[in-house]
Amino acid sequence: MHKIFVTFLIAASCASIAHAQVGSIAPFSQDSPVYTLEQAVSSAGGSAPATEAASAAVEAARAGRTVAGLRPNPVVQGQVENVVGSGPYRGVRSAETTVGFAIPIELGGKRGARVAVANAQLSRAEIQAAIIAADVRLQVTQLYVEAVAADRRVATARDQARIASDALQAARIRVQAGRASPLEEQRAEVARINAEANVEQQLRLAKAAHTNLERRIGGPITGVLDGTALDRFANANVYGPVATVDTSSTLAMAAANADVSIAEAGVRLARANRVPDLNVGPAIRRLEETNDLAAVLTVSIPIPVFNNGRAAITQATAQQSQADAQRRVAALDIEQAITDAQAQAANAETAARTASGPALAAAEEAARIARIGYREGKFGQLELLDAERTLAETRNAAINALANYQNARARLERLTTPAPDGGNK
């Protein structure tokens, strides 16, 4: 009797600390530094190919702005007249040579319009870089949360395996004392085998979660994961009103506004291109007959007969209308997405608080009563196994609910990430 009592005290003690235990599959000691979510995000941001591509796009846009501000290059011109003719103009004896250069003079504000387009494109590239950074943060957060949840599932599975092993030992003592049927020992053995198999399965899933996180951050995890990351709630009052979000400052709206700015600058450039440019060409001519020099001044201007620029303006205006319509669509979509994400995050928080609080406490109490009752002969083994199974399922449900909440919260933060300064103008 005394051995049975000690055995179930050990089982109850293990069950009471299982919820607080996080556990980790990483080979780090308890004194190892904590590898936080911010460190993971920072590491991934520096190694993600998408981030590198966004940085290259920003550099290309800056170079494009420099190119847009450059003036047209002058053209060197050479001309030889009165050659390979007849009579006195036979051969090159009467050749007259003219050497000069032509300077294109842009009219209509073309250079300023090009710079405006390049500035708008640069702003759009910077916003796209911010969007990619926010996407990388969301991806890393989800992988980090999954890794922490997987570690906690491993700890729960190990604890349930210890409880099953202790229950098996208790069942053997009862059978040897003649107080129970050998069937109880067999049931306890089946429960122990299933619990140990579950530990192996959870270890594999946790290893996969850690591998995925390491692959995303571009290197090994240098420390233990922050096991408390699942337990942080954003709202003190989960039943309070949902805060209103200014969608005009979000990344999605900033990108739509930048597209409109590019289209507006394109219309201005198309109108500027309708104005013909001048080509002014001072030159020097050598007269072969007298060997004298004379100045030559040429001025040329294209005649807009076949291409007068109206089609380009029509095209640019249509693109502006398209960008403006897409901005209105984006405004509706982002408002709907944020509203849905807020509801999902609030529901996930309610589920997480309930699962990790009252529901888990009730399951733990039920298991504790079942152990005591089984020890005292008031409950059968089936009641004990059912209570332990319910406790294990409730613990896993609490872990899943907490992970779902953290993921929902991360998605909401991604949608409401503010644009960089000036990005929403």
The full set of domain ranges for the chain reads: 2-71+106-274+309-415
Q: Give the confidence band of 93 by pLDDT, cuts at 50, 70, 90.
A: low
Residue-wise burial string across 134-145, b where 16 or more C-beta atoms lie within 10 A, e elsewhere: bbbbbbbbbbbb
3-class secondary structure, 180:
coil
* pLDDT of res. 18: 37
Is residue 84 scored above 80 in pLDDT?
A: no
- Residue 424: what residue type? N
Residue, of 51 and 48, whose pLDDT is higher: 51
Contact 323, 262 (CB under 8 A): yes
pLDDT cut 90: percent of the chain above it: 42
DSSP per-residue string spanning 312-348: HHHHHHHHHHHHHHHHHHHHHHHHHHHHHHHHHHHHH
The dihedral formed by the CA atoms of 377, 379, 384 and 387, expressed in degrees to the nearest 10: -140
* pLDDT of res. 13: 37
Is residue 11 scored above 60 in pLDDT?
A: no
Contact 395, 360 (CB under 8 A): yes
Distance CA 409, CA 415 (A): 10
CA 127 to chain centre: 13
Instruction: For the domain covering 2-71+106-274+309-415, report its CATH number.
Output: 1.20.1600.10
pLDDT digits (tens, 9 = 90+) for 402-424: 999 999 999 999 999 998 875 54
Is residue 211 scored above 60 in pLDDT?
A: yes
Is residue 320 scored above 50 in pLDDT?
A: yes
Average pLDDT over residues 301-314: 89
CA 141 to chain centre: 9
Is residue 3 scored above 60 in pLDDT?
A: no
Instruction: Give 66's strand partners.
Output: none
CA nearest to 8, candidates 370, 386, 344: 370
Distance CA 55, CA 338 (A): 28
Q: Given the structure tokens 């007259």, which residue do they identify?
A: 96
Distance CA 421, CA 162 (A): 55
Distance CA 351, CA 363 (A): 16
Distance CA 325, CA 315 (A): 15
DSSP assignment, residue 418?
B
Question: Which residues 6+ apart lie within 8 Å of 340 measured at CB?
Answer: none
Phi, psi of 278 (to 5 degrees): -95, 150
Query: How do strand 224-225 and strand 75-81 relate by DSSP bridges?
Result: unpaired
Contact 273, 110 (CB under 8 A): yes
